[in-house]
Structure 1
Amino acid sequence: MQIKLKTLYSENKSFILFILLMCVFRSAVADWNEVPTGSMQPTIVEGDRILVNKVAYDVQMPFSHHSLYKLADPLRGDIIIFDSEVSDKRLVKRVVGVPGDTIAMIDNTLYINDQRLEYIDDKNNGRFSDKIEDLLGVQHRIRIANGGSALSSFTTVSVPAGYYLAMGDNRDNSADSRVIGLVPRHEIIGRAQQVVVSLNYDNYYLPRSERFLHTL
């Protein structure tokens, strides 16, 4: 048995080394993450495979969440990927509140540090509206239900040190900090800024050419 293993290794050591290095790379440097739900529409759609930059905030020990060296902290407007202990899932959301912020929302209008955010109407199909939200200097599109929902408002929340308030861009269809609570800094594993490839689930999983290397 040992002889067979040695022979197998000897004949395939370059391939084995490649696989090992690729696993380390995906664990600690960069990876892709499938987005199966519409909680980040219209920014990210179902079927997008997004590139996850795992060294955006920390140099991490491979195959763990242990930070060896902190490079930066998430900024308001960043799209973060985190392993939520509360929901027991890997989630993709946008940072809305950073440590020290006070956040409130009334009828899908955000107030950050007592400042009402600005919104520009983009699209309206009757059931929902797409708007451009100015997140204190970071503009991005959001989607809201025209009839509102139980998620459309919340009272003022103060974000403590070591935590972030994260929300989906699809404001009335996202289990985010309004449901699971604030996101601890140690759960955040990376930042997403680009789609790698996107598969259309409603059209035989064919690739969406317009989403290839699309910037978020």
Structure 2
Amino acid sequence: MPRQALSNLRHWLRENRGFIVFLLCFGLLRTAVADWNPVPTGSMRPTILEGDVVLVNRTAYDLKPPLSTRSLLRTGEPQRGDVVVFFSPVDGTRLIKRLVALPGDVVELDEGQRRLRINGEAALYSDAQGVLEPIGPALAVGASRPLEQLAGHSRRVQLLEGLRSAQHANAVNRRPAGFGPLCVPEGHYFMLGDNRDNSGDSRVFGPVPRHLLVGRAHHVLVSADITAAWWTPRWERWGRALQ
């Protein structure tokens, strides 16, 4: 490197060392402590919408070196009902789903009624809300959003009732509605999307090993309707806690 260029570089580094330290600390914070995760799909509707950016606590379960899945220290235990960011055990894709079953749990989802069971206890469903759910360009189906209560936790889930016709079922990447009973292996966790009829989850790729968990998502940071022409902000979702 020419002497003048090297001198200019050293001068630039001296003048901007505070900003450089800030960027390094910011990068360390995001890769090891806290993170945000843009959500491009509707597999967690109605809890999380396409265009939500969620905050993720990367130290909720384990302390890991930046850019690594190796745990240095366990900091907490995953709980049923947590919204978890993790890497797919099949292809490493970063996903966000609901943790519904812990190691040793026997989990089952009835094909007909789509009722979730954990260790023989059936979830209770109430206060169902009827909506018209978009599943593609100029295509929508009727959906039901009941309150699912099980194992001390409750959340809204979505059932795409209108997918019972073959025409509509072929319009989305539909996943099997039922599974189990299955005993979750030691050190693994069973994940489901809240949008039960349109989610690629543990019904497809199986239980997720702990080392692939990134962290627990707890709030929506910002949100915009990415299906709209101008990505309209959803102000009412900014800062919303995830249930």
TM-score bracket, shorter-length normalisation: over 0.9
- Cα shift at 1:53: 0.5
Q: Partners in 1 of 2:96 and 2:221 — Cα distance? A: 15
Q: Partners in 2 of 1:62 and 1:109 — Cα distance? A: 39
Aligned to 1:41: 45
Aligned to 2:198: 173
- Cα shift at 1:150: 5.3
Q: Which of these residues, 182, 195, 200, is aligned with residue 225 of structure 2?
A: 200
Aligned to 2:180: 155
Rg bigger for which structure? 2
Q: Partners in 2 of 1:111 and 1:117 — Cα distance? A: 6
User: Which whole-Å deviations, capped at 9, do the CAs of 1:32-57 have from their partners, x for residues lacking one?
Assistant: 10000000000000000000111111
Q: Which of these residues, 52, 56, 60, is aligned with residue 60 of structure 2?
A: 56
- Cα shift at 1:202: 3.0
Q: State the one-letter code of the partner of 1:134.
A: Q
Percent of aligned pairs with the same residue? 44
With normalisation by structure 2, the TM-score equals 0.85
Q: Which of these residues, 77, 81, 104, is aligned with residue 81 of structure 2?
A: 77
Pick the structure with more strand per residue: 1
Larger displacement relative to structure 2 (140-149 or 17-26): 140-149
Question: Runs (4+) of structure 1 moved beyond 3 Å?
Answer: 147-150
Q: Partners in 1 of 2:28 and 2:225 — Cα distance? A: 30
- Cα shift at 1:165: 0.4
Q: Partners in 1 of 2:53 and 2:182 — Cα distance? A: 32
**Could you list the runs of 5+ residues in structure 1 that have no partner in the other structure?**
none
Q: Partners in 1 of 2:49 and 2:210 — Cα distance? A: 26
**Could you list the runs of 5+ residues in structure 2 that have no partner in the other structure?**
132-140, 165-173
Change (3 A) 1:175 1:188: same
Aligned to 1:121: 127
Q: State the one-letter code of the partner of 2:158.
A: R
Change (3 A) 1:129 1:185: same
Number of residues of Structure 1 aligned to a counterpart in Structure 2: 216
Aligned to 1:104: 108
Q: Which of these residues, 143, 146, 156, is aligned with residue 141 of structure 1?
A: 156
- The 3-state SS of whatever aligns with 2:104 is coil
Q: Partners in 1 of 2:78 and 2:231 — Cα distance? A: 33
- The 3-state SS of whatever aligns with 1:119 is strand
8 Å Cα contact 1:81-1:91 kept in structure 2:
yes
